[in-house]
Amino acid sequence: MLRELPVTFPCDDGTLRQAISQHQSALARELRQVLTQLRADIVVYADALWGLGRIAGLVLSPARPVLAVHVIGHGADLAPALAAARRSSARQRA
């Protein structure tokens, strides 16, 4: 449970989207702390539609971010997640 995400579940899309947007800096800091404590190599933001993928670019962590999108969803969520995503290939990492 993220302390910096002030919602109770279940909640509607608008409530979650607003909470993530209003608290994005604090959420990014908290996620960075969690990933650092866990010494994570990879973090998968499993949903740009109803999740934290929209702030993945703000989480300054050594963990490699992966954005997984299982369906094309609402532009209000997908657009910020894709804007923050960075394309990478094996050739670019070499």
pLDDT band at 47 (very low <50, low <70, confident <90, very high): low
Q: How far from 72 is each of 20, 47, 48, 76, 79, CA to CA, in Å?
A: 20, 10, 9, 11, 10
Q: What is the pTM of this model?
A: 0.73
CB 30 within 8 A of CB 3: yes
Average pLDDT estimate for 25-44: 94
* Amino acid residing at 63: A
Predicted pLDDT of residue 53: 82
pLDDT band at 55 (very low <50, low <70, confident <90, very high): confident
